[in-house]
Amino acid sequence: MKASDIIPFYGGTYPDLFEIERRCMDRKGNVIDFLDQNLPNGLALDIGAGNGHTAERLLNDNRQIVAMEPDETMIDPEKPLIWSRGTAQSIPFHTNTFKSAYATWAFFFDGMPDVDQGLAEVARVVEPGGQIIIVDNYGYDEFCALSSRPIASDVNYWSARGFNHTVIDTVFAFDSVEEARKLLSFYFGAAGEKVEQMIFEYKVVAYTKTNQK
């Protein structure tokens, strides 16, 4: 694993802010529900698993999950997951190991230089006929509108790579306006400091593909 392959993430340095993010960003649980319904039984790979928040919720008697995360400060060993250190560009597993693989807001940001290398690695480690799901911001919502730079993914980019897309409506729902300001000012500066609400419309997109070699 090369250090230069890891995209820096704030969660290990500011765990209190990441705790707010993970608790509030899909308060309805609609992204988890989508993944739960669309991932098959058997072994799944979570790419860029963060602290294991999503993997922990998708684990059941029929679905085992390997949580792969390159940043050791993100890994939460208390979570009942199989942890692995690795990057999307170089997945440390044999060909056809997994029935499925997914990434939630991790590494697969369109336009980043190594995305196609990462997709080739995912296609290698997932069985033919297995499921691949990439989750990112859809845009056109109150949350993304706070950002002065584009933070939504590009459906055309993923369509060109053979992915279907599904828009998932959820909300960023904070416990107070103060909590909303704390996280949103960290993300968006002055625009976040000025917010007056606790709930923000948030549209997420899931890109799905059946793996073919």
Ligand X SMILES: C[S@@+](CC[C@H](N)C(=O)[O-])C[C@H]1O[C@@H](n2cnc3c(N)ncnc32)[C@H](O)[C@@H]1O
Rounded to whole angstroms, the Cα distance separating 164 from 42 reads: 22
Interface with ligand X by CB under 6 A: which range of 2-10, 145-153, 169-177, 199-207?
Answer: 2-10
Instruction: Determine the Cα–Cα distance for residues 58 and 33; give it in Å rounded to an integer.
Output: 9
To ligand X, the closest distance from the beta carbon of 202 in angstroms equals 13
Beta bridge partners of 114: none
What gap in Å lies between CA 35 and CA 57, rounded to an integer?
10
The two structure tokens encoding residue 185: 């000012």
Indicate the residue among 7 and 191 with the shorter CB distance to ligand X: 7
Contact 182, 174 (CB under 8 A): no
Which of 44, 56, 65, 70 is close enough to bind ligand X by CB under 6 A? 70
Site string for ligand X, 88-117 (x = CB under 6 A): xx--------------xxxx----------
We find the least distance from the C-beta atom of residue 196 to ligand X, in angstroms, to be 26
Concatenate the DSSP letters of all residues of 16-56 into one string.
HHHHHHHHHTTTT-HHHHHHHHHSPSEEEEEET-TTSHHHH
Q: For residues 24 and 61, which CB has a smaller minimum distance to ligand X in the complex?
A: 24
The only residue of 20, 34, 45, 54 in contact with ligand X, by rule CB under 6 A: 54
What is the 8-class DSSP label of residue 212? -
Q: Which of 53, 99, 203, 209 binds ligand X (CB under 6 A)?
A: 53
Q: Decide if residue 139 touches ligand X (CB under 6 A).
A: no
Binding of residue 131 to ligand X (CB under 6 A): no
Report if residue 134 touches ligand X, rule: CB under 6 A.
no
Residue range at the interface with ligand X (CB under 6 A); choices 7-15, 59-67, 168-176, 194-202? 7-15
H-helix segments, the chain: 15-24, 30-38, 53-58, 115-125, 142-145, 155-159, 177-188, 190-193
CA 124 remoteness from chain centre: 20
CB closer to ligand X out of 5 and 33: 5
Residues within the interface to ligand X (CB under 6 A) = 5-7, 9, 11, 22, 47-50, 53-54, 69-71, 74, 87-89, 104-107
